[in-house]
Chain A
Amino acid sequence: MASDHNMNLKPEDFLKIGVDEKEAEVIQRESLSAWQDSWQRLRQNKMAMTALVILGLIVLAALIGPLFSKFNYYSNDLLHTNKPPSSDHWFGTDDLGRDIFVRTWYGARISLLVGLAAAAIDLLIGVIYGGIMGYFGGRVDNIMNKVSEILYSIPYLLVVILLLVVLEPSLGTIILALTITGWITMAWIVRGEIMQLKNREFVLASRSMGAGSARLLFRHLLPNAVGPIIVTITLSVPNAIFAEAFLSFLGLGVQAPIASLGSMINDSLTGWLYYPWRFLFPAVLISLTMLSFNIFGDGLRDALDPKLKK
């Protein structure tokens, strides 16, 4: 071989640079918690961030939008009915001369309130019920799971309509109607997560140190199930908003003069070809809200899943 005479290397020719053992253990990467890590991934998702900004703007407008107008949501002005958008009435007026700009944001406020309240109650019941099913398993799980399956199998609309007919129609009734079966999905998600997590070795390790049920559930199991729980919430808020709009559209929702996006669309149907603004503004807003929630929820799911880490 040609290179042989170049290769007369002796041990002395090698310089041992050595590795300091302590140095080998140093981690260069910036320390990030699981949350910070997820946030960084979420920030890189342009669609999800756009949806988040739009949601922020909608919430902000729903809170302070009506303040910028000199009208309120309930006063009639029968001299100015069905007026198209103008410098006075920015989104026009409806058949009773009420200002649609104010009513749209006021309606958005009601819709968001219903959505968030329903999601919060779903969360509370779902996590407790699902947590118990998943943690105890066995017979407890069997019975509780059957109960939830039976509840789920009753046609949802039937229950809701029945409830709204029996009880006084109000915001509280609508939220109750939406949550009476809404928590089941959450409970199933939590159950699945807890069942999967409780056999993981870190839970066993905590038990081998003498941890009790409360510690296992609240320090180990639920914090690790938070990702799917959050995603389920962000996807159940738009569901509740849509359900409320749908019920209001059927005339089972909030009662006049309170506005919700669904009841406004319902009111506008009588002449929507002649007065399209009455229909357009609330319809666009509700679509935008739901689209944003869904896109954001999707992005959040990707960001919280460490398996997608690059």
Chain B
Amino acid sequence: MSKNLIEVEGLKKYFNVGKGRVLKAVDNINFTIREGETLGMVGESGCGKTTAGRTVLRLYEPTAGSVKYNGVDIFKLPTGKMKAMRRDMQMIFQDPYASLNPRFTVQDIIGEALDIHGMAGSRAERKKRIEELLDMVGLNHDHATRYPHEFSGGQRQRIGIARSLAVNPKFIVCDEPISALDVSIQAQVVNLLKELQDRLGLTYLFIAHDLSMVKHISDRVAVMYLGKMVELAESEELYANPLHPYTKSLLSAIPIPDPEVEVNKKRIILHDELGTPIYSQNEETDQAETQLIEVSKGHFVAKAFA
């Protein structure tokens, strides 16, 4: 088994929502990602997936906890070292329309990271690297001088992927990279991500709310609910044997392309049995909700439901 590339311990990110209340968007989550692995992260809108992904990359300063990359706690790094660290950790964004600067040409979008880190010595070298990246994601060289508004959603997402690959990262947080695309394009982008992973030995944290797509791409899947990580297991195990009521409910919502099965399928619907992520200022979260217990090998579930 390969070593852990990412180790997240007790990560918390709270937002002050006024009137003495805090929103615990990420509440004491723990997980590791092995080198070359894809960890899927699923949960409904607003459950803290995106916040977790951004905090792991230190785009948000955490309330507490640590994220270790190759054993180095990135929250303790000074600005200069953190900047260098950003070459190893990159992000692919959800909305391909909002994530590209409309005033930049494609070559400036992809080349920006090269400029920031001084990775291209000369103009020719920069151009060569940009063309290499365009090839990698299946775009043409003459796209380099065009502007984002001239591209389709799938093409834009590939530009975003090329941008994140420019600095040769080892770890990429994919923040719902396919949820804004239509289904035919989704497969194209997911396959591109898998292919790049094999070729470049990338490690992914793949955030999504589409369970079938997550199963397809992930080695292990973590389920988040109301800011807490409630279950974590190998993909097959999680889908075959869900333990947490939220996971069960989530899995029961996957549509099955067979009308007879679909009509007899029983949906499990939760009625807020698990409360809300908004707490008053000094209120502690119940440990049993955030602490994960290993119930079988590699299958973790929140202590309250073990």
The answer, yes or no, to whether B49 is at the interface (CB within 8 Å) is no
Interface residues of A in 163-197 (CB under 8 A from B): none
Contacts of B149 in A (CB 8 A): 34, 306
Question: A210 CA to B77 CA in the complex, in Å?
Answer: 13
B139 in contact with A210 (CB, 8 Å): no
Closest chain-B Cβ to A308's Cβ sits at a distance in Å of 14
How extensive is the interface on chain B, given as a class? 35 or more
A22 in contact with B140 (CB, 8 Å): yes
Interface residues of A in 198-253 (CB under 8 A from B): 200-202, 204-211, 215, 220, 223-224
With A210-B86, A210-B116 in contact, do A205 and B147 touch (Cβ < 8 Å)? no
Contacts of A215 in B (CB 8 A): 116
Residue of B nearest to A21 (CB): B138
A209 in contact with B99 (CB, 8 Å): no
Question: A220 CA to B143 CA in the complex, in Å?
Answer: 21
Q: Which 6 A-B pairs have the closest CB atoms?
A: A201-B99, A210-B86, A210-B83, A209-B113, A202-B101, A201-B98
Contacts A205-B93, A210-B86 given; 9 further ones with Cβ under 8 A?
Answer: A27-B143, A27-B146, A34-B103, A201-B95, A206-B101, A209-B86, A209-B90, A224-B101, A224-B102
Question: A291 CA to B96 CA in the complex, in Å?
Answer: 41
With A31-B147, A201-B93, A215-B116 in contact, do A207 and B102 touch (Cβ < 8 Å)? no
Question: A200 CA to B150 CA in the complex, in Å?
Answer: 19
Main SS of the interface on chain B?
loop
Count chain A CB atoms within 10 A of each CB in B59, B90, B102 and give the residue with the most.
B102
Which of B57, B86, B99, B113 lies in contact with A202, CB distance below 8 A?
Answer: B99
Interface residues of B in 60-97 (CB under 8 A from A): 82-84, 86-87, 90-91, 93-95
Count chain A CB atoms within 10 A of each CB in B83, B91, B112, B138 and give the residue with the most.
B112
A31 in contact with B57 (CB, 8 Å): no
The answer, yes or no, to whether B155 is at the interface (CB within 8 Å) is yes
The answer, yes or no, to whether B167 is at the interface (CB within 8 Å) is yes
Closest chain-B Cβ to A295's Cβ sits at a distance in Å of 27
The answer, yes or no, to whether A32 is at the interface (CB within 8 Å) is yes
The answer, yes or no, to whether B191 is at the interface (CB within 8 Å) is no
Which of A25, A33, A202, A208 lies in contact with B98, CB distance below 8 A?
Answer: A202
Closest chain-A Cβ to B182's Cβ sits at a distance in Å of 15
B146 in contact with A208 (CB, 8 Å): no
Closest chain-B Cβ to A89's Cβ sits at a distance in Å of 52
How extensive is the interface on chain A, given as a class? 20 to 34
Residue of B nearest to A30 (CB): B150
Closest chain-B Cβ to A139's Cβ sits at a distance in Å of 13
B103 in contact with A25 (CB, 8 Å): no
Question: A26 CA to B93 CA in the complex, in Å?
Answer: 24
Contacts of A10 in B (CB 8 A): none
Question: A239 CA to B160 CA in the complex, in Å?
Answer: 44
Contacts of A22 in B (CB 8 A): 140
Which of A29, A32, A208, A223 lies in contact with B103, CB distance below 8 A?
Answer: A223
The answer, yes or no, to whether B117 is at the interface (CB within 8 Å) is yes
Count chain B CB atoms within 10 A of each CB in A204, A207, A215 and give the residue with the most.
A204
Question: A34 CA to B105 CA in the complex, in Å?
Answer: 10
Closest chain-A Cβ to B139's Cβ sits at a distance in Å of 6
Closest chain-B Cβ to A228's Cβ sits at a distance in Å of 14
Contacts of A306 in B (CB 8 A): 102, 149
Contacts of B99 in A (CB 8 A): 200-202, 204-205
Contact with A along B146-168 (1 / 0, CB 8 A): 11011100010000100100010
Count chain B CB atoms within 10 A of each CB in A27, A31, A201 and give the residue with the most.
A201
Residue of B nearest to A309 (CB): B149
Residue of B nearest to A199 (CB): B98
Question: A176 CA to B147 CA in the complex, in Å?
Answer: 41
A209 in contact with B98 (CB, 8 Å): no
Contacts of B143 in A (CB 8 A): 25, 27
Question: A210 CA to B115 CA in the complex, in Å?
Answer: 10
15 CB-based A-B contacts, threshold 8 Å = A25-B138, A25-B140, A27-B143, A31-B146, A34-B149, A200-B99, A201-B95, A202-B101, A206-B112, A210-B82, A210-B83, A210-B117, A211-B116, A224-B101, A224-B102
